[in-house]
Amino acid sequence: MNEHTNQESPSAEETPGGTRLTDGAGPSGEPIRRTDDKPPAGMNRRGKVRRTRASAWWSGLIVAAILAVLLLVFIIQNSDKVTIHFLGFDGRLSLAVALLLAAVLGMLVIALPGAVRIAQLRHALKTNANSAKH
């Protein structure tokens, strides 16, 4: 007990992860963590496992594999030949290939203006950063 305040002085103990805890409690009753202690390797300050580039790649590969399987099913189910007429050109093509080609061309039409806008914003950001330095 502290003689001047008649309260117990907070003592600190170390947890297995290296975080120091005090006897005090936060507003919701959880132990108070000192902010100057770093979280254990691989963990964030909230105690959750930190995301890494490898985990992002792994998640992306799983999503890509699922999409590839769905695409394969789509192509198999829509393999009938259809006649395509476009700007004076005629041709016979698998329905799946024609639809996928249309989707890819549509994505390119959307992506091109977006890429130009991103380039404009990056250029403006670099210009502003360079003018702030001088």
User: What pTM does this model have?
Assistant: 0.43
What local confidence, expressed as pLDDT, does residue 8 receive? 46
pLDDT 10s digits, 47-96: 787 788 888 888 889 999 999 899 888 888 888 898 988 888 888 988 88
Indicate if the pLDDT at residue 120 is higher than 60: yes
Q: Are residues 69 and 116 in the same domain?
A: yes
Indicate if the pLDDT at residue 11 is higher than 70: no
Q: Are residues 99 and 121 in the same domain?
A: yes
3-state SS string for 64-130: HHHHHHHHHHHHHHCCCEEEEEECCEEEEEEHHHHHHHHHHHHHHHHHHHHHHHHHHHHHHHHHHHH
The domain tally of the chain equals 2
Q: Are residues 37 and 89 in the same domain?
A: no
What local confidence, expressed as pLDDT, does residue 18 receive? 52
Residue 6 is assigned to a structural domain of this protein: no
Residue 104 is assigned to a structural domain of this protein: yes
Considering only residues 41 and 22, tell me which one the structure prediction assigns the higher pLDDT.
Answer: 41
